[in-house]
């Protein structure tokens, strides 16, 4: 094990928000303190969020209320990415149907496009982002416009979002409703596409950032797509089991319990003749099963199991969950 902390290997941290820094209105234990430590280490910090329901300024204000370091320009959102995408495809002054929040409409205005609220205003495109206020009438309006042949951009397609009371439907479920009704699919601006991450790294002048997220299908896939190192944190959507079963494109470089672990040395995984060792735990694949010597409760056991299973299935196009055989020390 190297004595250097995990995050000290990188020049910036690109952090997801929901499920990483906070769940609903409340900070996740240890997250704020872990983020506060970065400036003293000379490590840049950016927030990369698929939540299009609030403006970057509102997100930064919320982070500051929680005690986290956050200037407005440290927040890069999928609504900004969607606006930039539309501006690159359409002429200035084009009318865009907003299926989402006032914050999304504001980003559309900032790039020289005109937000509208109904098909009657002749929009040439639809932009769809999450808002808890969206109802059937909003989805119907989007469906009418998409069905008529308009360009359709989604800020993101997260199927769920962590809330204080549990997991709730995300923008992806609302996008799926319009897709089911129209037979169309939108262009997606935010995670897991790479530009959002490249934009955040560029703002920080970072050449070697670490992407931290709780979701394999957005944060980790997006960070991997961008060519950056990725770390999955277990305070949100994905679990030890889903990470182990991950398809190749969604496998993180590192796995941590919470953001506090960023400031600890990361245990090296070694292998010898098919046996993978992490700390006091070992794992080996035989007959499609992963045999693990170690505690189920210790993350090193899962790190070893992931290394062994992923080496066995290097080109997994879909999630594959192995049978696990636990053997105590």
**CA trace torsion 76, 77, 83, 88 (10° rounding):** 50
Give me the residue label for tokens 């790479």.
194
Nearest to 189 by CA among 1, 20, 52: 52
Tell me how far apart the alpha carbons of residues 277 and 257 are, in angstroms, rounded to a whole number. 19
Contact criterion met (CB below 8 Å) for 180 and 139: no
Tell me how far apart the alpha carbons of residues 276 and 288 are, in angstroms, rounded to a whole number. 15
**CA trace torsion 279, 280, 286, 291 (10° rounding):** -120
Which of the residues 3, 11, 18, 328 is marked catalytic? 18
Contact criterion met (CB below 8 Å) for 223 and 211: yes
Give me the residue label for tokens 């416009």.
145
Which of the residues 16, 158, 217, 261 is marked catalytic? 16
Give me the residue label for tokens 């192995």.
322
Tell me how far apart the alpha carbons of residues 215 and 51 are, in angstroms, rounded to a whole number. 13
Contact criterion met (CB below 8 Å) for 226 and 207: no
Q: In this structure, what are the phi and psi dihedrals at residue 155, rounded to the nearest 5 degrees?
A: -65, -40
18 carries an active-site annotation? yes
Tell me how far apart the alpha carbons of residues 72 and 55 are, in angstroms, rounded to a whole number. 9
219 carries an active-site annotation? no
Q: What kind and span of H or E run contains 139?
A: helix 136-147
Tell me how far apart the alpha carbons of residues 98 and 78 are, in angstroms, rounded to a whole number. 14
**DSSP structural state of residue 265:** B
Find the farthest-apart pair of alpha carbons in the chain and give their distance in angstroms, rounded. Answer: 69
Q: Which residues are catalytic?
A: 16, 18
């Amino acid at each position: 094990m190297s004595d250097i902390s995990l995050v000290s290997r990188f020049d910036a941290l690109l952090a997801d928000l929901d499920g990483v820094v906070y769940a609903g209105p409340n900070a996740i234990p240890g997250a704020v303190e872990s983020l506060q430590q970065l400036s003293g280490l000379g490590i840049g910090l950016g927030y990369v969020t698929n939540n299009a329901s609030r403006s970057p300024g509102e997100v930064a204000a919320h982070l500051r209320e929680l005690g986290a370091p956050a200037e407005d320009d440290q927040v890069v959102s999928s609504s900004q990415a969607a606006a930039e995408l539309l501006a690159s495809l359409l002429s200035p002054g084009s009318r865009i149907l907003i299926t989402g929040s006032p914050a999304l409409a504001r980003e559309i205005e900032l790039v020289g496009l005109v937000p509208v609220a109904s098909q009657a205003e002749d929009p040439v495109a639809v932009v769809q982002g999450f808002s808890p206020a969206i109802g059937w009438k909003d989805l119907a309006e989007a469906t009418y416009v998409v069905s008529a042949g308009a360009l359709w951009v989604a800020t993101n397609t997260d199927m769920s979002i962590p809330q204080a009371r549990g997991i709730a439907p995300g923008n992806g479920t609302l996008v799926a409703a319009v897709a089911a009704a129209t037979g169309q699919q939108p262009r997606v601006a935010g995670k897991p596409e790479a530009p959002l991450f490249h934009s955040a790294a560029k703002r920080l002048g970072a050449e070697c950032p670490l992407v931290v997220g709780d979701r394999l299908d957005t944060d980790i896939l997006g960070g991997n797509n961008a060519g950056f190192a990725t770390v999955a944190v277990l305070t949100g959507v994905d679990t030890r089991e889903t990470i182990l079963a991950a398809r190749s494109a969604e496998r993180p470089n590192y796995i941590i319990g919470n953001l506090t672990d960023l400031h600890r040395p990361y245990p090296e995984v070694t292998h010898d003749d098919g046996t993978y060792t992490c700390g006091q735990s070992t794992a080996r694949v035989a007959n499609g099963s992963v045999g693990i010597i170690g505690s189920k409760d210790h993350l090193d056991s899962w790190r070893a199991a992931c290394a062994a299973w992923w080496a066995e299935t290097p080109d997994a196009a879909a999630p594959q969950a192995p049978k696990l055989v636990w053997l105590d020390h």
